[in-house]
Homo-oligomer: A and B are copies of this chain.
Amino acid sequence: MFLKNAWYCAGWDYQVSQGKDAIVARKIAGKRVVLYRKSGGAVVAMEDQCPHRQAALSLGRKEGDALRCMYHGLKFESDGKCSEIPNVEKVPEHICVRTFPVVEMDNWIWVWMGDPAKADPALISRGVGPSDPDFTTRPSYIQVNASYLLENANLADLSHSSFTHDATIAMGLAQALAKPTHKVIPRGIKTDWWVRSVPVPKFVQHLFPPGFLCDANFDVTQTYPCNWMLHFRVFTAGTATEGESDGHLVLDSWSCQAVTPRDAESVDYYYSWGVSKKTEQPGLADLLKEGLDAAFNEDKRMLEAQQQRVKEDPHFKQMGIGAADGGPARMLRVIDQLIREEQEAERPTAVAA
């Protein structure tokens, strides 16, 4: 079950070029969506099935700003109206394809899957995109065959990093032993926490003197469906104060992640890690990307096995452990409530007798 009135990330802007054949098929929250750019660059998002016989519009042809279905030749303008049917003099008004509001923000394409009247761009989760001039950022992508709810639970609790990512991005046991507090915000949770005098992750240890320790701050905003924006700063241990801090900054970075449910059992995961110009070094952004790619393959393996077990054994009574459950519990409650509220609002009102 998915929220309709929400912005879903449909990918990186560079994935939809102005190319003649650049027509991109996606599955978003269970619905097939086709994306292409008009002249001028605006992205069009349409339901990826022709209203005539459900042919795939993503197998169609761009004609100016319109998209022609290449099965029977119906031509759809970028607002979804059918402007031409071969051999039909006057196209009936009602023939059209559904379009979805689109906004590009932070180099991501965002699609609103619900009531267009409610599509407020201010609801979009903000991050730092690859084109931000103050950061050097590498975008990446992975498909994970697991529910976005398992992804939310994964991202709402970084303690797993110390185990799942021991060989890559973990800071020793620091994340497992931290006790972050999570604040519920509209459509998600916010978590801001420090770890102190901890080792740097294994995948970057060769860049530091042996035994080098650091302080680090994680400032995370996680919102529906699973948009996860992290401002991540690393300081030489003992030099950082809370808040902005004027300590010795080793790394100032943003990792921005958008996990879009394809259907109930798989997600498209668009993510990046960018280093600020002030802490940049040649090759550093590339290393961060490599580290994150490796870590997300570790998560993929873990989550896909978990998905398999949850599916095979849906009545298994999971046991809470306290500590690590705080973030996931809050985030999953937020999602559950958003969906229930939307469904109740859609229900026809009972008329009093």
Binding site for B on A (CB under 8 A): 32, 48-49, 51-56, 58-59, 61, 68-74, 85-88, 92, 94-95, 153, 157, 159-160, 162-164, 166, 173, 176-179, 301-302, 305-306, 308-310, 312-313, 316, 318-324
Contacts and interface: CB of A to CB of B under 8 A. Distances in A.
Nearest to A301: B59
Nearest to A157: B72
A295 to B, nearest CB: 13
B70 A319 contact: no
A234 B72 CA distance: 24
Contacts of A179: 87
A310 B49 CA distance: 9
Copies of this chain, whole number: 3
A32 B159 CA distance: 26
Contacts of A88: 321-323
B94 A51 contact: no
A323 B305 CA distance: 47
A302 B59 contact: yes
A29 to B, nearest CB: 13
Contacts of A313: 49, 54
Contact of A159 (B61, B87, B153): B87
Contacts of A48: 309
11 contacts: A49-B313, A54-B318, A55-B306, A59-B305, A68-B163, A71-B163, A71-B164, A73-B159, A85-B322, A86-B176, A87-B179
Contacts of A92: 321
B72 A163 contact: yes
Nearest to A166: B70
Name the residue in A87, A302, A308 with the highest tally of chain B Cβ atoms < 10 Å from its Cβ: A87
A76 to B, nearest CB: 12
B323 A52 contact: no
Contacts of A53: 153, 306, 318
A310 B54 contact: yes
Given A72-B159, A73-B159, A87-B159, 18 more contacts: A51-B319, A53-B318, A54-B313, A55-B306, A56-B306, A59-B301, A61-B163, A68-B163, A71-B302, A72-B157, A72-B176, A72-B321, A74-B321, A85-B322, A86-B162, A86-B176, A86-B323, A88-B322
A176 B68 CA distance: 14
Nearest to A307: B54
Given A55-B302, A73-B159, A321-B85, A309 B173 contact: no
